[in-house]
Amino acid sequence: MATNDEGWVIVSGGGGALGSALAAHYGSRGRRVLALDRRFDPAQALPPGIARRKVDLLAEEEVRQAIAQSLSVSEGVSLLVNAVGRIWNEPLVAFRGSKLATHSLDTWRDVTDANLTAPFVVATQVAARMIRRGSGCIVNFSSIASGGNVGQAAYGAAKAGVEGLTRTMAIELGPLGVRVNAVALGFIDVATTRHAVVDSQLQDYAKRTPLGRLGHLDEVIGAIEFLSSNSFVNGAIVKVDGGLRL
């Protein structure tokens, strides 16, 4: 079992399906975990050692204070998993009755804020703390939609931005002892996916995937474990999609 001298694990989006599973995973292994999100399920039971902070992940000062209030000055962060995000489907143009409607600018901003700006805010705040100790690992969440996907202009653009951010951070922070990588997820069988994508579409994606199924939570966790444990992997975008985008 892990011991507390390994440093804290911070999970942004810790109230979501993937984020809460990751927080529970590390907490059950004896790690000190700080989960950050705008909301949490109060009925959800968590292992000991997990601290939860309600915070606006788009607000730098709120994020900084949440970390400072949860960790002592002498405590370090060994891993940040940036699991914050929002799946969104909206066509660029669509007929609504007799009129041609365009993609809403408001939802574009909301989706890019949730999937790109929030990870940037959290990563920069955590990276500053990691640099002071000369070590740390950040894992961002991308998606196969980063390569383009019908009906996901905002989501795909934001995830492409995450990949560019990941590579840039890896170049800048690597010399300072901080590695930055990302997982590009396909269709993972969790509540948020089933809420965002209708069942018939999910079945179609499963059939088109060479492995013939959706991904599992433990497979996402396994990819993050690899990226966090291999000290010579930096700037990688690891696809966890069952080969869907081959």
Other beta carbons less than 10 A from residue 168's beta carbon: 12
Q: 164 φ, ψ to 5°? A: -65, -40
CA distance 77 to 67: 10
Q: Where are the domains of the chain?
A: 4-240
- Angle of the 118-133 helix axis to the 60-70 helix axis, nearest 10: 40
Average pLDDT on 165-183 reads: 98
Q: What is residue 53's three-state secondary structure?
A: strand
| Residue 14 to residue 27: CA distance in whole angstroms | 12
26 in catalytic set: no
Residue 5 scores a pLDDT above 80: no
Give the pairing of strands 77-82 and 136-143: parallel
CA distance 235 to 245: 20
Q: Which CATH number fits domain 4-240: 2.60.120.200, 3.40.50.720, 3.90.1140.10, 3.30.43.10?
A: 3.40.50.720
- Given a cut of 50, whether residue 1 has pLDDT beyond it is no
- What value does the mean pLDDT take over residues 149-169? 96
For residue 85, the one-letter residue type is G
Phi-psi category of residue 12: left, alpha or beta, with phi > 0 → left and psi -120 to 50 → alpha: beta
As a whole number of angstroms, the distance between CA 65 and CA 228 comes to: 25
Residue 213 has pLDDT above 50, yes or no: yes
Output the pTM of the full model: 0.92
| Cα–Cα dist 179/77, whole Å | 13
Strand ranges (E), the chain: 8-12, 33-37, 50-54, 77-82, 93-96, 99-102, 136-143, 178-185, 237-240
Return left, alpha or beta for 189; rule: phi > 0 is left, psi -120 to 50 is alpha, else beta: beta
Residue 60 or 4, more confident = 60
pLDDT one-digit tens code per residue, 50-102: 999 999 999 999 999 999 999 999 999 999 999 999 999 999 999 888 889 99
pLDDT in tens, 115-133: 999 999 999 999 999 999 9
Q: Are 143 and 215 in contact (CB under 8 A)?
A: no
Q: Where are the alpha helices (DSSP H) in 7-133?
A: 17-27, 60-70, 105-112, 118-133
Which of 40, 141, 155, 187 is flagged as catalytic? 155
